[in-house]
């Protein structure tokens, strides 16, 4: 068992958001913040914020608020952004290129060390200074360069060979942009990113907004 | 007030996932499924599934399960994927290109009709058959082409002018890939996509997996 108290995934999924907002406050030179003020900025209820932050120690003081810097550092530590992760990117298509060019990832501790693709015209080129290798050389590369995370931006049909190779090579995390939810057992963590899901939720909310407006009649804007 | 019962956002956010899994079942020619089987496939508890699906009518029958086709159609209808949304894409960088090339969006009812960018060398080109226009012509374009959704993949500093323009033009939905959470009041719906947040959660879970393994000792793989 781990010594650290197990924090629920629902709380964990909110932590990056706290981290972003607190980082903004630091840039604005704000040193203390109450749960009420943070609540207004983040559009989360103050009680939810107090409950979340209590999960890992409760840094707030009644009538004083939270120390922005130390709260941010603690969240960074819990999230592990003070550590570095070696990553490979599989798939040098448009999404692969977009990810390889995200400077934010490196700042958050995620270093893309190599890119793999099957297309001969991409192999040997560089994206944002990172070399594209042929996918057939991936197993060998992973053997020589211990890697934490594989970012997957390839078509569905090629997935299973690729996940076999990376999991056998000891990669522990998969960031999955393919349309299929990957489930690879308890020895690998997978974060599935489904952009279509997010867009469908937007479509739903837009229809709901429209229905509510129509119900309010033509006078409403 | 809308006639349809208000469904919580937590349930709404799970609907695209139900929709995807049920669409897969239809492709596999599976006509009925119990909440238990669906639970195993989707890695959600059966009671959660029953509770979610009860929110909009309860199509399951004891000892019979759910009718896959009609459940899928109902979810599609609730999500509004049987309607079409006119979209513009703002920002023709790597992420913009990736989004413009996602064939899935069109299949789900989201048509990108135009792309806008500030870079002179991009203006006039096409991405996946969609023309790139200069950002200065956007207000005029929106006036002539009523648009539901703006997809934002531009740098942070240029956001506020752009959101002003699209909101004034009557765009009701913003799909926001910029690093800042946008909040534009009650008359616009915003879905913020933060890829870094997802990556940070992956990093957290990877560290947790590693800690648990270490705690179990060197014998465990």
pLDDT by residue (tens digit) across B4-42?
456 788 888 899 999 999 999 999 999 999 888 889 888
Q: Return the pLDDT at A91.
A: 96
Q: Which of A175, A194, A204 sits opposite B79 (nearest CB)?
A: A204
Tokens found for residue B106? 């069109």
Q: Return the pLDDT at B185.
A: 85
Q: Which of A4, A197, A210 sits opposite B16 (nearest CB)?
A: A197
Q: What share of chain B is helix, strand, coil (3-state, %, to 5)?
A: 50, 20, 35
> Could you give the ipTM of this predicted complex?
0.88
**CB contact (8 A) between residue B175 and residue A198:** yes
Tokens found for residue A83? 């550590």
Report the gap between the CA of A1 and the closest CA in chain B (Å): 6
**CB contact (8 A) between residue B202 and residue A149:** yes
Nearest CA in chain A to B197: A16
Report yes or no: A149 and B204 within 8 Å, Cβ to Cβ. no
Q: Return the pLDDT at B57.
A: 62
pLDDT (average), residues B181-210: 91
**CB contact (8 A) between residue A193 and residue B191:** no
What is the Cα–Cα distance from B118 to B132, expressed in whole angstroms?
Answer: 10
Q: Indicate the SS3 state at residue B152.
A: strand
Report the gap between the CA of A100 and the closest CA in chain B (Å): 9
Report the gap between the CA of A63 and the closest CA in chain B (Å): 28
The per-residue pLDDT for range B116-159, each reduced to its tens digit, is 999 999 999 999 999 999 999 999 999 999 999 999 999 777 78
The per-residue pLDDT for range A181-205, each reduced to its tens digit, is 888 888 899 999 999 999 999 999 9
Nearest CA in chain A to B12: A201
The torsion defined by the Cα of B201, B202, B206 and B208, in degrees rounded to 10, comes to 20
- What is the pTM for the complete model shown? 0.87
């Amino acid at each position: 068992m781990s010594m650290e108290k197990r924090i629920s995934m629902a709380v964990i999924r909110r932590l990056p958001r706290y981290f972003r907002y607190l980082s903004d406050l630091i840039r604005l030179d704000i040193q203390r913040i109450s749960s009420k003020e943070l609540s207004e900025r983040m559009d989360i209820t103050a009680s939810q914020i107090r409950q979340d932050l209590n999960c890992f120690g409760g840094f707030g003081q009644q009538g004083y608020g939270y120390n922005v810097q130390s709260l941010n550092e603690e969240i960074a530590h819990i999230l592990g952004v003070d550590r570095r992760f070696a990553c490979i990117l599989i798939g040098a298509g448009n999404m692969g290129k977009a990810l390889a060019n995200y400077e934010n990832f490196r700042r958050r501790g995620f270093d893309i060390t190599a890119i793999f693709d099957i297309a001969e015209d991409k192999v040997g080129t560089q994206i944002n200074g990172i070399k594209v290798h042929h996918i057939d050389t991936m197993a060998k590369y992973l053997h020589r360069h211990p890697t934490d995370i594989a970012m997957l931006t390839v078509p569905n049909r090629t997935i299973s060979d690729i996940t076999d190779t990376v999991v056998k090579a000891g990669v522990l995390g998969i960031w999955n942009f393919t349309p299929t939810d990957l489930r690879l057992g308890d020895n690998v963590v997978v974060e599935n990113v489904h952009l279509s899901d997010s867009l469908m939720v937007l479509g739903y909310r837009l229809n709901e907004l429209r229905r509510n407006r129509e119900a309010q009649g033509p006078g409403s804007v």
